[in-house]
Structure formats: C-alpha cells, structure tokens
Amino acid sequence: MGVQAGLPKVVKRRVNALKNLQVKCAHIEAKFYEEVHELERKYAALYQPLFDKRSDIVKAAYEPTDEECEWKADEEEELTDEMKEKAKLEEEKKDEEKEDPKGIPEFWLTVFKNVDLLSDMLQEHDEPILKHLQDIKVKFSDPGQPMSFTLEFHFEPNDFFTNTVLTKTYKMRSEPDESDPFSFDGPEIMSCTGCTIDWTKGKNVTLKTIKKKQKHKGRGTVRTVTKTVPNDSFFNFFTPPEVPENGELDEDSEAVLAADFEIGHFIRERIVPRAVLYFTGEAIEDDDDDYDEEGEEADDEEGEEEADEENDADYDPKV
C-alpha cells in the first residue's frame, strides 16, 4: 500500500475518492483514444492516394515525370555547375552500362533488411519470395465496429504461393481493465489472426523435411523415416499462436505474441507511412537519434547478459 498505509483514516477515505475520480479519467481517456482511431481512419483515406502512387512507381506501373523526380539535396547546393555536369555524365555512363531496371527492384525486401526488427525474422529462403512483395497497406476497421487494423501484403504472381494478398489482422481494445484500471495507457492489441498461405507444392518455406533413424525394438533393424517439422521463416508471421477464450497463454506463446504485437504496431506506425526513408536508411538514422547515451549503456549491459547466458552450460536459447 506504500504511503496510503500510514495515512489517517479520514485522509485514506479522501484518497479513495481521488482514486474513483482517476478511474473516471481513465474511461474518458479511453473515449479520447477511440476518437483518435476515428481520426486515423479519416487521414488514412487522405494518405492512401499517395501510397498508391508510391506503389505504382515501385512496381513500374507509373513512371514519374522529371518534375516529380527532382530532389534538391543539401549537399548539391554547394556543387559548382561544372561538378554537376561531370556527375551527370558519370551517372548517365553508369546507366548505359546497366540493364534498365523496372520500377524500384527489391524495394520492400530492402526495407525489411534495413530494419533490425524485421531482418531478425528474415531467413535466406524468405528473400526470393519477398522480392515479389509489391506493397503493404493498412486497413482500419469500419466505424462502429470493434477497433482493429489489418496489414495487407500485396504480392505479384510468383512461383511460391497462389495468394495475391496475405493478411494479418490485429484486434484492439480501448477501455480500462476493470481489475486494474490504472494500468490503462491507450489502445492495446488483444489478439491477432493471420491467413492461410496456399503454397505451391514443395515451396513451403515454413516447413522442412528431416531424415530420422528409427530402431525396431524387437528386431533391432534400423530404418530411415522422413519427418516434416516447422522451419524458421518470416512467413510464420501469418500463423500466430491462438489466444484461448480465457485469455491465458503459456510463457512461450505470450513472448511470441508480445513480439508479434510490437512488429504489427511498427509496420503500421512507421514502416508503411515512411517506407522510402527505411529503403534509403534515413529513417534508421532518425530512429538511432531517438536513443541517448543511457540507452546505449543499457544495450551494452544486455549484451553482457547475453554473453553470460551463452557461456552458461545450462543455458538453452530456445527456452
């Protein structure tokens, strides 16, 4: 109870009254976040034509005009006309030597590789598939419906699966938990659902086949059997653990979902709105600037802990 335990009874009563006011504040705050969600939905519709044009440029459905392609970088301001002409000639010479690529090749794959949170999920066998990713869109729930958002991953026709769109939906809640109203801090993801990927035969990277030797108990003969087991892949993102109706999860599933929710939020709030800056690496520099020196020290300590765990004979990274 802390401070409250040592207070006179009459003061405790008044503190309880303040707590009841605080609960009412939490309920008003929940309404505030519901309106924020409505605003997000409204502005998502305004951003979408710009994101659609971005997608058309990436996949070579639209060739931007010279005017649209003109970008005045800071360092170019200091270049003399002679230097600019020289740079232009070198650029044209390079272009002549290369094949003329369409759109912006491997745009989204490069974004994924540039962002630690996403590149940690990537396996080598995922990369050829993600070269076919043409766009990621965010769709918000309709007005009056429970709060949620869906991430849509749009793929061009490919040899790996027949889906043109893979989806992941995150259901959210924006109301204080009755048992702990003071912990309310805005909308939180409650659960998520993926989609079925219709893999082409032999192309499912989320599974691998292993050969195992089995010894016959009676005869002692050994035979080799082939087993299919789960395989690490970014595409496991579309089959998250199910949240049981009672909401209770084992520790492993809880950890997987916590990471999943973080990734979902990050794609929605950062990657989709600012994709080109993650492609060029500029947004990553901005993200790094958000961390001060204390954060770096904390990272170092974490690194030391990881090193200790790796040196520990009993440490199992899967646990």
Structure tokens, 112: 């994924």
Cβ neighbours, 10 Å, residue 308: 10
Q: What is the pLDDT of residue 296?
A: 46
Q: How far is it, in rounded angstroms, from Cα 252 to Cα 264? A: 18
Task: Quickly state the pLDDT bin for 289 (edges 50, 70, 90).
Answer: low
Pick from 93-97, 251-255, 259-263 the range whose average pLDDT is largest.
259-263
- Please write the tens of the pLDDT for every residue from 115-149: 999 999 999 999 999 999 999 999 998 888 888 99
Q: Name residue, tokens 């805005």.
A: 186
Q: How far is it, in rounded angstroms, from Cα 177 to Cα 26? A: 10
* Range 163-182 average pLDDT: 90
Q: Which residues of 28-37 are buried (b: 16+ CB within 10 A; e: fewer)?
A: ebbeebeeeb
Task: Quickly state the pLDDT bin for 73 (edges 50, 70, 90).
Answer: low
Q: How far is it, in rounded angstroms, from Cα 287 to Cα 272? A: 15
Task: Quickly state the pLDDT bin for 242 (edges 50, 70, 90).
Answer: confident
Q: How far is it, in rounded angstroms, from Cα 146 to Cα 177? A: 16
Q: What is the pLDDT of residue 272?
A: 97
Q: How far is it, in rounded angstroms, from Cα 63 to Cα 56? A: 8
Q: Looking at the predicted structure, is the pLDDT value of residue 279 above 80?
A: yes
Give the pTM: 0.77
Q: Which residues of 270-300 are buried (b: 16+ CB within 10 A; e: fewer)?
A: bbbeebebbbeeebeeeeeeeeeeeeeeeee
Query: Of 100 and 301, which is predicted with more confidence?
Result: 100
